[in-house]
Chains A and B, each alone.
Chain A
Amino acid sequence: MRKIFERIGTGALRGIDVLGSTGLFLLESVAHCFVPPYRPRRIVEQIHFVGVKSLFVIVLTASFTGMVLAIQGFHTLRKFGSEGLLGSVVALSLIRELGPVLTALMVIGRAGSAMTAEIGILRISGVIMALDAMAIEPRKFLVSPRLVGSVVAVPLLTAIFIVVGILGGWLVGVGLLGVNVGDYFGRMEQSVEFADIAGGLWKSFAFAILIGWVCTWKGYNTQRGAQGVGRATTSAVVVSSVLVLVGDYILTSVLL
């Protein structure tokens, strides 16, 4: 019986320790963003890496998501004779949920995993220790630009995802399934409110911080060689993806 309580206690203490250290890691990394030197070039590099280089996969995913939504939505709405609402269904689904969530998942897969691997390799090759020895704060140099890059790029990618998704839905709904183009865009304009767009952007902003936080933290704390880098990268993708989905539920509950 005592051993059970000991295990529970040890697990709880470890959990608190991880929460505390990850929280401090985020707070200090955010604080470093506001302290000179600002290294704008490194921030631009990260915006390019997270944003521009993810553009292709975002456009591809968004267009097929919009197309699938249009097919599914059309066949469901037809049962109720409401095919004209297809534009609203596609737009609201993308703006409120699918846009922020799928963009975040794509960025995790493409850029987040690379962030973890890159920082992890710097850790195991001793470069992070060397930076510290050179009196260059490693978190300011490695983590803060990536956080800023994510926070700038992810909401923009989300906006692009939504627009491309709506166009994908239009292509299938209007072009292939014969929905009236006026209905498609007109109903969309009537049903989408600013709160929907703001909610979607708030989510993408929150997911951006989450991705930057988890992926850099996992990389920064990589141990035990090349295998450790692999483990950290896998763990970063799994943990941040799950947190995005859990966070989506919580934010949806709060925002609605």
Chain B
Amino acid sequence: MSAILPASAPVGLQSLRDPDDPPVIRLVGVETALLGRQVLDGVTLDIPARRITVIIGLSGAGKSVILRHMIGLTRPDRGQVFMDGVDINLLSKKGLYALRDRFGVMFQTGALFESMTVFDNVAFPLREKTELGEGEIREKVNRLLALVGLPDTGGKYPDELSGGMVRRVALARAMVMDPEIIFFDEPTTGLDPIIRNSILKLLCDTWREHAFTMVMVSHDIPEIFNWCHHLVVVRAGKIAAAGPTASVLASEDPFVQQLLKGDIAGPVRLL
């Protein structure tokens, strides 16, 4: 993949020519109401394969709900979610779990087992879902911990780590099963700028090495534009804009411009 992306800097990711492959994930007319509130209202969206796609929008716009639909954790009231052309909502639980074996998911809080060490947390999917011996598991987990910059933390517990370290452990766990697609729900929210950029760079480096399809929900505007190929802007459960980052940044939609610039004045007035 290094031929696709210049190794020097993340800027320019969006200038890549899109692959000709069909989208790996496709949402068609997805409508979902939660607790009586319409959270998604006719979302139609393509996620390109082997690219980093970032979903942005105001809080409560439905970004994380879109992500959960892609993973099959939430089922839509109407519409379809296709993964490689298969409607995942028509799959049995066994079929859905077989599909999820292709995913890695990193949640906002890390969602680590507090009672397990860092090593055991990362090794957890391998022990539960593979027949690998302890030696192979140790080698793989240590390699991943080194990759995320935590080579000596295997024996520590999550509550002994900083927020940024917890996210990196969660990233290692998300990658441990060699997934084809990794989903990130706000992986850098609440972190200081240096740690945030370190994690974003780590994601980008990981992409360079493995060329996973990555889908990320983020609030890191404008920094995130340097780290993604595709951008999706969500407004009140609808897609306001979607496409290669450069084209979305050039959008003339007033809401998109307000969100990108963080303007107080614009179509959205909170005060």
**Chain A: residues with CB nearer than 8 A to chain B?**
37, 121-122, 125-127, 129-130, 132-137, 141
Contact = CB atoms under 8 A, between A and B. Distances in A.
Main secondary structure on B side of the interface with A: mixed
23 contacts: A121-B114, A125-B114, A126-B107, A126-B108, A126-B109, A127-B111, A127-B112, A129-B111, A130-B105, A130-B107, A132-B73, A133-B73, A133-B103, A133-B107, A133-B183, A134-B128, A135-B96, A135-B98, A135-B100, A136-B129, A137-B93, A137-B97, A141-B128
Given A133-B71, A135-B101, 7 more contacts: A125-B111, A126-B111, A132-B73, A133-B100, A135-B98, A136-B129, A137-B93
Interface string B111-131: 111100000000001001100
B97 A133 contact: no
B109 A133 contact: no
A141 B128 CA distance: 10
A130 B97 contact: no
B72 to A, nearest CB: 9
Given A129-B73, A130-B105, A135 B97 contact: yes
A37 B128 CA distance: 9
Interface residues of B, number: 21
Contacts, number: 45
B106 to A, nearest CB: 9
B125 A129 contact: no
A134 B125 contact: yes
Nearest to B101: A135
Contacts of A137: 93, 97
Contacts of A141: 128
Contacts of B113: 122, 127
A129 B100 contact: no
Nearest to A130: B111
Contacts of B108: 126
B108 to A, nearest CB: 8
